[in-house]
Amino acid sequence: MDHDIAPATSRPTLLTSEDWWAVWLGGLLIAAASFGLITAVAGVARWTTNPTDAFEGQGLSLLILGLGLALVTALAARAMGGSFIQHQAGFFFLFLLAVLSYFLANQTGIRAAGVGYAFWALLIGLLISNTSGTPNWLKPALRSELYIKTGLVLLGAEILFNRVLSLGPAGLFVAWLVTPVVILFMCFLGTRVLKVSSPSLVIVIAAATSVCGVSAAIATAAAARAKKDELTLAAGMTLIFTVIMMILMPIGIRAIGMDPIVGAAWIGGTVDATGAVVAAGAMLGEEAGQVAAIVKMIQNILIGVIAFLVAVYWVTNIEDSTNGKRPAMTEIWTRFPKFILGFVGASLLFSFVLAPTLGDETVTAIVDLTSDFRGWLFCLAFVSIGLESNFRALASQVQGGRPIQLYLVGQTFNVVLTLAAAYVAFGGILFDKVL
């Protein structure tokens, strides 16, 4: 598909904007979990040889979850000009594909190899899209941005400032110093050296590499009006190399005898998905796993900052209007991904309102629920991205392999620079050791 993430000419309202609906839906799920209206979220269990073990006692719960998600997302689709009935008709099959993705990912052997639901969701979608083709009746339910933006609002609830502050300057040094340097390096490499023709593709790959993979790519793509195929290419590369890094980095850290805390900070600053960071960090020990997760949380805060700066830069430096004049400065607000406000708001709510009033134990239980919802929404988004993409369209974005070169060189630079920062910050050189 060649259309942009959101047309620059549109001026959506609070009830017709996909970004705002992500805020409303994310807020609804947070409220339901916080007030005890939702006490559990259905899931697919781990299984080894008997596939039915994955669904034992979960059949009805999964049905209710699917119906609930179908209802709220159909309301959003209708408000944005779509069809309530057509969305629901396609959504149920989409949800089944998401269940299949979790089913494959939770097989114990596959899970041990680190191949998560996001990989399977994207793969399943791509297989359907590039073989039989995505049926027309399914397309109204393919709202990948709505699903993942709502999931990102929920992600904000997981970034608690007390956890961020627990690592102090060392965590900030690794997460916030390296990230902008890598972005600037990759932008120079992509536009000046490799001469990738699409600046939006360059910035999406750079954000995915330096911050937190697909989540940052979605936010940046919205700010830069990137094409859907550009987002798919960046997401695909990120998912593949996230699996590789998640497996190899802990093995390498243990093999060379690196301080596990330094190694955990290194993992937190380079592995592109929060779930993969947690899994990889846990391989180095409980304390190391906490350090890896918190460094990634600190880095995730930059999603909103980078999206805003990209919106400003694109409006003031990249795009011209049809009459040759720069877009108005008000375009910055129009371009800014509004769901980032929900992301930040959720973090502030949980950090400064819910945690002090309800206590850490209750907040942890609420976050467990919102993170489960986030997982389902991300899974729906990845299946949708795959179903909306085809290899011929992706091939047109490869441009002689230059985007892949950009990712590989940029990620290598990111890995080396983050290792140096982790060693200086967590090795007792620049700051006292945190643990």
Q: What is the pLDDT of residue 283?
A: 77
Q: What is the pLDDT of residue 9?
A: 39
Q: What is the pLDDT of residue 323?
A: 44
Q: What is the pLDDT of residue 395?
A: 62
Q: How confident is the model at residue 23 (pLDDT cuts 50, 70, 90)?
A: very high
Which residues fall within 8 angstroms of residue 160, CB to CB, at 6 or more apart?
297, 347, 350, 351, 355, 363
The yes-or-no verdict on residue 380 having pLDDT over 80 is yes
Distance CA 424, CA 428 (A): 7
Q: What is the pLDDT of residue 261?
A: 93
Q: Where are the domains of the chain?
A: 18-426
Q: How confident is the model at residue 325 (pLDDT cuts 50, 70, 90)?
A: low
pLDDT in tens, 36-82: 999 999 999 999 999 999 998 888 999 999 999 999 999 999 998 88
Helix (H, G, I), strand (E, B) or coil at 29: helix
Q: What is the pLDDT of residue 122?
A: 81
List the one residue out of 166, 231, 226 whose CA is nearest residue 199. 226
Which residues fall within 8 angstroms of residue 282, CB to CB, at 6 or more apart?
288, 289
Residue 349: phi, psi to the nearest 5?
A: -60, -50
- DSSP states of 142-191 as a string? --HHHHHHHHHHHHHTT--HHHHHHTHHHHHIIIIIHHHHHHHHHHHIII
Q: What is the pLDDT of residue 285?
A: 80
Q: What is the pLDDT of residue 277?
A: 81
Share of the chain above pLDDT 70, in %: 89
pLDDT in tens, 155-210: 888 877 877 777 778 988 998 889 999 999 999 999 999 998 889 999 999 999 99
Distance CA 232, CA 198 (A): 14
List the one residue out of 210, 290, 207, 281 whose CA is nearest residue 246. 281
The yes-or-no verdict on residue 6 having pLDDT over 70 is no
Tokens of 241: 């190399």
Q: How confident is the model at residue 362 (pLDDT cuts 50, 70, 90)?
A: very high
> Mean pLDDT lowest for which of 24-28, 106-110, 161-165?
161-165
Angstrom CA distances, 72 to 64, 163, 313, stand at 12, 32, 35
Computed over every residue of the chain, the mean pLDDT equals 85
| CA geometry: angle 57, 63, 65, nearest 5 deg | 100
Q: What is the pLDDT of residue 8?
A: 39
**pTM for the predicted model, two decimal places:** 0.72
